[in-house]
Amino acid sequence: MPEFVYSNVKKEIETYGYDSVVKSYCRMCHGGCGVLVYVKNGRVAKIAGDPDCPINHGTLCSKGLASAQLAYHPDRLTHPVRRIGPKGSGRWERISWDTALNAIAERINEYKEGFGAESVVLGYGTGRENEAAIYRFANLLGTPNVLTAGHFCYGPRIATSIITCGTNPVVDYENNPQCIMVWGNNIVISNPDEYKGEPFSVAVSRGAKLIAVDPRLTRIAARAEVWLQLRPGTDAALALGMLHVIIREKLYDREFVENHVHGWEPFGKRVEEYPLERVEEITWVPKEKIEAAARLFATAKPAAIQWGVAIEQQVNCADNDRLLMILMGITGNLDKPGGQVLFQTPRIRNVGYFGAHRMLSDVQREKRLGGERFRLAGNFAIINPKCVWDAILEEKPYPVKMLFFISSNPLLTRANAGEIYRALEKVEFMAVSDFFLTPTAELADIVLPSATWLEMDYIGDFWKRHGYILPRRKIIQVGECRSDHEMLNDLAHRVGQGEHWWDNFEQALDWILAPIGITWQEFKKMDHVRGDMVKEKFRVKGFSTPSRKLEIYSTVLESLGYDPLPKHREPPESPVSTPELYRSYPYILITGRRLPGFFHSENRQVEWLRELHKDPVVEIHPDAANREGIRDGDWVIIESPRGKIRQRAKLFAGMDPRIVSAEHGWWFPEKKDPGHGWNESNINLLTSNSYENCDPAMGATHIRSLLCRIYPEGK
């Protein structure tokens, strides 16, 4: 075990009798926060933020602080198990790792030979930084089907940024943005992907002007100079309205537009279709506020947009992302210090290279589920989940016989949970790797015990686009738990891929780091490595797009048969698109509000974190609650055309009375029946996954706004 003892913690070590302090990087959510892990008698005794870490500067959220409670939880799966009896019986027997991996390998090879490699689908969810190894295994196997959250979470940001400006534009908090527009994001709670709440909060404290785009009054919205309280699902119209103001009043960066933008004239004509009177009608945002926000963002230098998945989990997913990048670009804030920076990662073998995407044959690539329908997603190896459920339930366009989910709980986290349950019941064989027997794992044939971040060596954040890589150091071993990387490396040898893998996964880490001339053993003695910082690269090399410019008229989307210009699409269920349905379901339901202790469906069995939030909560405006006979704290029924669930009502005046806001990811580990109450409060029993309601390019499922009715339980 490596020991990194710092002078500022020596006194604490002596006082409390800790054996050592290990410097590492948390992965309880999106990852990247530096931590100091205090060890006593071979166990984690305390976790604190590392003040030397450039990502979080010593701050740490409740999830990171509670990591040891997850690792040592008495219900944690610590050895492989095999189901005995029918699916959902809750009966398991302990087996060895060799028995488990041999059985999984046997099924993989059997289905590959009998039905083609495409009949085996791998999947991952929130991610434990295992995506590179999962894609490598899948591509070498020959299956083009890896089921991720990438169709509506982060993947669209990467796909659309690559075709628009070459890479993901990241807010440069280090260089003091003067204006920050927070759009569909609650960074101080979610700490998403490249970002942590601490640098944002510091920037605001230093005087950065704040614009908040959110249907709810968040803490960020409460501090904002301008709060744009839009109707859920109308983000594209709002962005086009702001662009209308910026172009009409000539607030754009003329030099940048003339020399570095492709498609200015046709884009200007598209924007003319969204005068503020129309945008106000669509979005419910007064045109005066739209004008104020547009002027503030366009004139404050530098300015940046902090965006989140709320804009991606919509039918307008790809266009929402593109419009925000256009706002960044034409105002002169793209690849600018203090604006949106195109960071360069260290020159290692990156996630795409490790994932062996080039080793998947063209023949197999053409078999990707949904690839013909959602063509932009298919170009980035992303599939829509419903394509998998259809291939299981209807065996179209071919049968899917096996699922292997790693750190994924789709029964709680994907749309139309009822259909998912039927698919998981029917699939011939399913393996799961996870920390607990989740509702999804309870339907599996074999479940493997996955290691937490405290139990592995790895190169942290090497998939992100903030320019850093950081060493994650193994500190403890719990039971027989293994990292997903080690497990897949072992399994790969058993299915005939051994020549493309390693004797042990440390050799893989050496291989990743080799281009910068260091080994894993050398890297783990370092704090971090950062890529070169080069400003305004586009002035020398242009943008990494087909036209070498910022493509506000997308040549890639045009070549794929899509509208090359962004536009507003009305949500599939709304007062506008489905007025008759609205009469029966008179509230707009928004889903997915972020909570401090939970990460999607995770952590509801972790004591400290569950204490923060005992029950699933739906927010309802006091006026609406009075109309429906609902009191604060009541258990209520939320119903959509697809089903009904129960959550506890909380009266909240910080949103329009026509809106209710429910939480996602809820199950009840304390319930010892095999389903753990997965169908009691699971918001995805209400959401739709129909193809017609998905983003046409990315296949993003529209889950963030739908129509519902709400009433007291028992009424």
Predicted local confidence at residue 3, as pLDDT:
44
State the amino acid at position 68 in one-letter form. Answer: A
Let me know: does 358 contact 365? Beta carbons within 8 Å.
no
Predicted local confidence at residue 5, as pLDDT:
43
Collect all residues with Cβ–Cβ distance below 8 Å to 635 and sequence separation of at least 6: 646, 647, 648, 649, 712, 713
Predicted local confidence at residue 215, as pLDDT:
98
* Domains of the chain with CATH codes: 165-343+537-559 (3.40.228.10), 579-712 (2.40.40.20)
Cβ burial of 93 (10 Å; 0-12, 13-18, 19+) is: exposed
Collect all residues with Cβ–Cβ distance below 8 Å to 504 and sequence separation of at least 6: 486, 489
Q: Which two tokens stand for residue 84?
A: 């005995």
Per-residue pLDDT tens digits for 313-332:
999 999 999 999 999 999 99
Q: What are phi and psi of 538, to 5 degrees?
A: -65, -25
Cβ burial of 711 (10 Å; 0-12, 13-18, 19+) is: middle
Strand 226-228, strand 209-213: pairing: parallel
Let me know: does 24 contact 453? Beta carbons within 8 Å.
yes
Tell me whether the omega of the peptide bond preceding residue 515 falls within 30 degrees of 0, making it cis.
no
Q: What are phi and psi of 349, to 5 degrees?
A: -75, 110
Q: Which two tokens stand for residue 145?
A: 């089907």
Sign (positive or negative) of CA dihedral 350, 355, 359, 361: negative
Per-residue pLDDT tens digits for 193-236:
888 999 999 999 999 999 999 999 999 999 999 999 999 999 99
Give Rg (Cα) of the chain. Answer: 25
Separation between Cα atoms, residue 151 and residue 160, nearest integer Å:
12
Nearest CA-CA partner of 168 in 464, 530, 469: 464
Let me know: does 597 contact 62? Beta carbons within 8 Å.
yes
Predicted local confidence at residue 6, as pLDDT:
55
Helix, strand and coil in the chain, % to nearest 5: 35, 20, 45
**pTM greater than 0.75:** yes
Q: Which two tokens stand for residue 89?
A: 């019986």
Residue written as token pair 């202790």:
597
Residue written as token pair 């072992």:
490
Separation between Cα atoms, residue 530 and residue 346, nearest integer Å:
6
Separation between Cα atoms, residue 132 and residue 139, nearest integer Å:
11
Strand 20-25, strand 34-40: pairing: antiparallel
Separation between Cα atoms, residue 666 and residue 648, nearest integer Å:
12
Helices 131-141 and 484-494 cross at an angle (nearest 10°) of 10
Q: Which residues of the chain have pLDDT under 70?
A: 1-8, 127
Per-residue pLDDT tens digits for 392-419:
999 999 999 999 999 999 999 999 999 9
Let me know: does 402 contact 120? Beta carbons within 8 Å.
yes
Beta-ladder partners of 472? 458
Helix, strand or coil, per DSSP, at residue 236: helix
Widest Cα–Cα separation across the chain: 70
Predicted local confidence at residue 7, as pLDDT:
55
SS3 string, 378-391, reads HHCCCCCHHHHHHH
Separation between Cα atoms, residue 373 and residue 370, nearest integer Å:
5
Strand 340-341, strand 587-591: pairing: unpaired
Helix, strand or coil, per DSSP, at residue 485: helix
